[in-house]
Structure 1
Amino acid sequence: MYKVMIIDDEPFVVEGMKSLINWNEYGFSICCDADNGEDALKKAVKYNPDLIITDINLPEMNGLQFIQRCIEEYKLKSKYVIISGYDEFEYARTAMKYGVLGYILKPIDEDEIIESLIKVKNAISSEKQDMLANTLEKKAISTILKKYIKDEISISKNNVIERYLRNYDQKEFRYFTLSFTRLQQHRMINEAGIVENIVMGILDSNADVFFVQEELGKRNIYGAIFPERNINSLLMEDSDALYKFAQTLSDKIYSKAGYRPTIYIGKKVNGLINIKDSKFSCIRAEKDNFIYDRQDITICDNVAEVNYVYKAMDDETSKQLIECIEKNDCNSIKANIENIYYTIRNALYEPEIVKAGIADFLIEIIKLLRDMKCEKSELFRTIAEFNMEGMVLKEIKEQLVTFCIQTAELINTLRSNNNKGILSEVQKYIELNYDKDIKLKDISKIFYINSTYLGKVFKKNIGISFNEYLNKIRIEKAKKLLISENYKVCKISQMVGYNDVNYFINKFEELTDKTPSEYKRTCAE
């Protein structure tokens, strides 16, 4: 059943029309009525009737003004039939302007009303069929465009797809990119169809708008292709039409979903066949925004070509930052990250290269925390809190500072808990490897701990320095060999880790007040 609304300030006219015709027989039912323009407007918006039958002379707002507001302000798709006691050409001409399907003079004739109902019913049925065909065609083209833009299909002069797209050669289009900063927000946008509904609520429903959802769940991006003509006509050829349209779109998404997308408006191109160029201008602008900070709305007509650096950043940069984290030096962490930030900006590193470099850094942090016996729940929580998706470089920098300082505090806590265990492991390692050329720096790498920090902790807990402890162990082993084995002093020197026999003799004498030979003779007596 199609819904009908009747508007007249004379109650007997309204009641007479209700009883005059068997509405159900012609596929209609009366959903509401009104006796003035303001009340009628509220009910029209609320009930969204398929057919509105209205008198011209109404209190507060006349019938033609009412129809104008329904169409232009509220975008209602209702059909209109006017009833009037005046047979005036101006009224009829204005009614024609708004596509009124019937103009019936009072007193109302039943046959005229029925004729208008049949005319309206046929018009609605025809429109719905056209709309269905148009919707199916747009969905088909959207699917083609999505594959075409991603280079999943190729075209040639004899290709059916090319001929399909060439049907739009006489129109100008722009590619719009809507970027959302959170995956869950984008998923809500996708599921609710908010973008499509808002766009079609702003533009004419017959506009050649194509929606291209791209890389969902990965880059949080939503693509749409808009006809330039519809945007300009909507805003009466305003010089700021594009910006105002994007701002309206952003405002309506915010009112519906509570967050705003970053919008990139691609350069204008002729026909859908060239839409890749428009999208590519959005990609360039998005990279610029990443480096030079976010703009909520970017029109890409004048985006300059930038030669980004595609090589990976120096590994030493990451190593220096990790050293600062291990030392729990907050000032050095901030200074180091600030230096990285300006290096990226000045050298113009490609955004994906930057993100890959940060991802590699995070992997090193994971290894460090894992080797320090960090609990899995704490490890996952620390890494999960770092999310670069949809962020620009400045935002990533701020997040990286917070992440690194928190990680430094976590490492400091883990070390405080693990110091005794680590020292025990270091002592065991020395016991097993005293005969090798081992140094504090080498051991610190094995146990994933800063060498300076390890040296301080070692002396504080053992009472002597690392080198003093190593020499003590080696001399004790040498003493046993001098007593139990018949090796020469130079051989024993090598066996306990000294390559220089004179250095060995000096250290032995320093710790025992005897040379190795004297010690051996004393023990033999």
Structure 2
Amino acid sequence: MAFKVLLIDDEPGAIEGMQLWIDWRGLGFEVCGTCGNGAEGLEMIEKLEPDLVVTDVRMPVLDGLGMIEMWQRSGSRPVRFAIVSGYSDFQYAQKALRFGVTHYFLKPIDEEAAAKELAVIYEELLQERELQRISRIASLEETVFRIKKLLTEPPGLPPELERDAEAVEERSASVGLEGLSSLREAWNFCLIRTVPGRRAELREIAASLAAGEEAMVLVDLETGEFGLVFGYAPGADGEDGIARIRELARRYAGRPALLALGAGEPSLGGLHACFRGAHKAMPHNFYAEGYPAIARDRQVRLRSFDCRYDQADWIDRVLEAVQLLDQAGLRKAAQEAAVRFRERYIDPDIVMKLVVHLFYNIAEQLREALGDKANPLIDRNAAPWAPEALTVEELLGELVSFGADGIHLLLEETFRSSRGIVQEINRYIGEHYREGLTIKKLAEVFYLHPVYLGQLLMKKNGIHFNGMIHDLRIEEAARLLRENKLKNSEVAERVGYANYGQFLKQFEKRLGMSPNEYRSRN
């Protein structure tokens, strides 16, 4: 760490000598400027903000001690001073002690002695910097504590006075924040929500923004959420300070972040109203179509959720899709539901409860069909994921994922226990394929659902039911054509085709030639 040093002396040669003979960089310093008298020195200190000022005592216009006295009386930022003088001016050194100046360089400056003195000063500056850092942290923590109190604790005022300007100003003063409150024309709160696994990342981004911005403080909440309290100028930043939050939204690009803004208040004393407004606005992000999303209390306060929804039909469709092992049907039901929920603006709490209800119903179906084998899947997908889903699509996506995993497990278990029945089904198909057999008729014979039966045959035979039927029919047709006793149309009818065109299409597809060509070759 390099500290900035300002050199002041009315003799250019003395300045040049200090720069030439002292290894400032090696000792941890960087010369940021030079000047020739105390009056110029005051201006340079104000402009350059040095950590150390090394000044001659005797100078025109304003001497070194006068400059030190004036700076210290001004109440500006603290600066460490060291004086340069000869033996004959020792009385000046004694006077400097009254101003707290304890470091003294004798002219002509000795390089070795100067290095020792500057090493001591460097250590003092390091300790001072650390104390300032600790003090800033303590001050910030105290500020955050007081702001959090304003944010989360109701003001204890009657509703008709809660937004009264004098009342909120008094509330700011009651916790010692009137100075901070006066830094900006208005104040607001931005609530930030994300999935648990991304909280630390998004909090760090918000903390980084707050550290580099004036009048912006990060606040952690007991709920595990966090937010930003910030001041703004209504004219330049929007009536709720949205312009100051857009930079955070830019930094959150591509991350699962939902932001909610209160309406804004004229001082920190009104933060609780901002806090309530942000929490009321947050649920409206449930229907956001992308991240990051920002719900603003001023924009959504007049829009209400619909609490009436006939859910029986949708529940039946989802449960039936799982029962029938129909993953495509499950996904379609969820997609259509997301559209309906969004169009009707159904209350997110209702949707959440509905999805959790469906989760437990699907879990019960799995337990009835699989017993204890279903427990690992159910435990891995336990319903607490529901409140963590940020949008309607994510919520329904979690339900579909759980249902699809359940269907996969049911299929595997059924396939495992169905070896014997597949042989019986195949035998039945071989005996009845000429009769216009369909998957629906076959399912009725074996008391199985058509969707499941089709998946079972594909899994065990490696071919779809319809493909299997056509293969058997064309194989039999080829045998009859080789006997050369029946017309082509009679062969088609004999093997189960009522439509000759369909017979011709399937024959050519499988054998690569027409029935007449096949007959002539065989």
TM range (shorter): 0.5 to 0.7
Q: Distance in 2 between matches of 1:344 and 1:453?
A: 39
Among 219, 226, 229, the residue aligned to 1:222: 226
Spell out, residue by residue over 1:73-117, the C-alpha distance to the aligned partner (whole angstroms, 9 max, x if none).
xxxxx746487999999xx9xx999x6766999977895997586
Q: Distance in 1 between matches of 2:317 and 2:442?
A: 15
Distance 1:458 1:165, change over 3 A: same
Alignment correspondent of 2:38: none
Residue 6 of structure 1: how far off its partner (Å): 3.8
What is the DSSP-based 3-state SS (H/G/I as helix, E as strand, rest coil) of the residue aligned with 2:388?
A: coil
Q: Is the 8 A contact 2:194 2:257 kept in 1?
A: yes
1:353 counterpart = 2:367 = no
Q: Distance in 2 between matches of 1:34 and 1:162?
A: 43
Residue 358 of structure 1: how far off its partner (Å): 0.7
**Amino acid aligned to 2:213:** L
* Map 1:199-238 → 2, pairs under 5 A: 199-204=209-214, 207=215, 209=217, 211-216=219-224, 221-228=225-232, 237=236
Q: Is the 8 A contact 2:172 2:269 kept in 1?
A: yes
Alignment correspondent of 1:185: 198
Q: Distance in 2 between matches of 1:250 and 1:340?
A: 29
* Map 1:291-330 → 2, pairs under 5 A: 291-296=287-292, 298=294, 300=296, 302-304=298-300, 305-311=302-308, 313-330=310-327
Q: Distance in 1 between matches of 2:142 and 2:445?
A: 74
Alignment correspondent of 2:274: 278
Q: Distance in 1 between matches of 2:240 and 2:84?
A: 47
Q: Distance in 2 between matches of 1:30 and 1:238?
A: 47
Q: Distance in 2 between matches of 1:459 and 1:129?
A: 74
* Map 1:401-480 → 2, pairs under 5 A: 401-417=400-416, 457-458=446-447
Distance 1:102 1:323, change over 3 A: closer
Alignment correspondent of 2:474: none
Alignment correspondent of 1:467: none
Q: Is the 8 A contact 2:6 2:54 kept in 1?
A: no
Alignment correspondent of 1:486: none
**Amino acid aligned to 2:363:** I
**Amino acid aligned to 1:345:** R
Alignment correspondent of 2:480: none
Q: Distance in 1 between matches of 2:368 and 2:409?
A: 13
Q: Is the 8 A contact 1:165 1:271 kept in 2?
A: no
Distance 1:385 1:416, change over 3 A: farther
Residue 289 of structure 1: how far off its partner (Å): 2.3
Q: Is the 8 A contact 1:180 1:186 kept in 2?
A: yes
Distance 1:409 1:455, change over 3 A: farther
1:198 counterpart = 2:195 = no
Q: Distance in 2 between matches of 1:64 and 1:295?
A: 52
Residue 176 of structure 1: how far off its partner (Å): 1.0
Q: Distance in 2 between matches of 1:286 and 1:377?
A: 34
1:140 counterpart = 2:140 = no
Q: Distance in 2 between matches of 1:86 and 1:334?
A: 86
Alignment correspondent of 1:493: none
What is the DSSP-based 3-state SS (H/G/I as helix, E as strand, rest coil) of the residue aligned with 1:174?
A: strand
Q: Percent identity?
A: 11
**Amino acid aligned to 1:338:** Q
* TM-score normalised by structure 1 residue count: 0.53
Q: Distance in 1 between matches of 2:80 and 2:219?
A: 39
Distance 1:33 1:132, change over 3 A: closer
Distance 1:333 1:143, change over 3 A: same
Alignment correspondent of 1:336: 333
Structure 1 unaligned blocks of 5 or more: 20-28, 36-53, 58-62, 72-77, 423-451, 461-525
* Map 1:87-98 → 2, pairs under 5 A: none
Q: Distance in 1 between matches of 2:269 and 2:414?
A: 61
Q: Distance in 1 between matches of 2:172 and 2:350?
A: 35
Among 259, 262, 268, the residue aligned to 1:266: 262
Spell out, residue by residue over 1:451-498, the C-alpha distance to the aligned partner (whole angstroms, 9 max, x if none).
x999664479xxxxxxxxxxxxxxxxxxxxxxxxxxxxxxxxxxxxxx
Alignment correspondent of 1:32: 28
1:371 counterpart = 2:368 = yes
* TM-score normalised by structure 2 residue count: 0.53
Alignment correspondent of 2:18: 13
Distance 1:249 1:86, change over 3 A: farther
Distance 1:172 1:162, change over 3 A: closer
Q: Distance in 2 between matches of 1:421 and 1:118?
A: 99
Alignment correspondent of 1:494: none
Residue 177 of structure 1: how far off its partner (Å): 1.3
Spell out, residue by residue over 1:264-303, the C-alpha distance to the aligned partner (whole angstroms, 9 max, x if none).
3332212334323323443344333212423525372641
* Map 1:60-209 → 2, pairs under 5 A: 79=51, 81=53, 111=93, 131=136, 134-135=139-140, 137-145=142-150, 147-148=152-153, 154=156, 164=174, 168=178, 172-181=186-195, 183-187=196-200, 194=204, 197-204=207-214, 207=215, 209=217
Structure 2 unaligned blocks of 5 or more: 8-13, 36-40, 87-91, 104-123, 162-166, 422-440, 450-522
1:55 counterpart = 2:33 = yes
Q: Distance in 1 between matches of 2:390 and 2:279?
A: 15
Q: Is the 8 A contact 1:86 1:105 kept in 2?
A: no
Distance 1:247 1:318, change over 3 A: same
